[in-house]
Amino acid sequence: VLQVAVLSNTFAQKEPYFNEGQDTAENGHKWKLVKQLSDEFDEGKLDETKWMNTNPKYWIGRPPGIFKKDVVSLNDGKLMMTNYLLPETEIVNGKEFTHAGAQLTSINSAQVGQYFECSMKANKTFMSSTFWLISDPRKLEGCDKRVTELDIQESVGEISTDELWAQKFNKTMNSNTHSRNVNCDIPVGTIGGKASIKGKVYDDYHVFGAWWKSPTEILFFLDGNLVNTVKPVAEFSLPMYIKLVTETYNWNPVPEDGGMTGSMEDRTTYYDWVRTWQLK
């Protein structure tokens, strides 16, 4: 009986999380769930047909944070990433790592026209809580062998830097589009936007969304409301992969106490669900 109930609730949502009047799709079009890029995290274990948990051949993390598989767990219909202090310092390629974070990457690629959203509650530490997409140059050729990155939300719980620009990083939706590592005469740069969140990012769950409407237009949504529209410096036309990551930023240093003195809950980023939609 329980299994039937779980199955009936899975993907019960019929359209993206929009407040009234905020769905900007043209009349006559309906949103259809892209199941291979969506996850309710109700199965009790990670769906490895949808997610790769760390990929050390490609990216092990930014020192001092290294990605570890055991940071990721599922419980009570939530994906949890619980950061921790390593029992001893690890040295990889001459670099020192002291903290464990997580990196999940979607197995399947996302495409122009799709809408991405997640319900997330940030951790309270100096490490990040994020939801973003990025191209994979290893799978591309010619002028397409470049990086486009769509950051829907990047935040930290504890701000350990004195930099003025970062002082609201745990009270805002911080979104960006990046173009870099180009081979041809393609513009490089970053354009993004911010939106204020009531309280801190770790106080409650928030729904962060982005509609990759076209190669030249991306719309960002916070809790069902359109908050920013961005034209990237270069066309966003390449397939990208969804990333759920907790990492260390070089601008937000490790606090003197190590930054991991809080409870398990304080150290955990929670994802209630990730959903991807396509117009039909």
Q: Name the residues annotated as catalytic.
A: 149, 154
SS3 per-residue string spanning the chain: CHHHHHHHHCCCCCCCCCCCCCCCCCCCCCEEECHHHCECCCCCCCCCCCEEECECCCECCCCCEEECHHHEEEECCEEEEECEEEEEEEEECCEEEEEEEEEEEECCCECCCCEEEEEEECCCCCCEEEEEEECCHHHCCHHHCCEEEEEEEEEECCCCCCCHHHCCCCCEEEEEEEEECCCCCCCCEEEEEEEECCCCCCCCCEEEEEEEEECCEEEEEECCEEEEEECCCCCCCCCEEEEEEECCCCCCCCCCCCCCCCCCCCCEEEEEEEEEEEEC
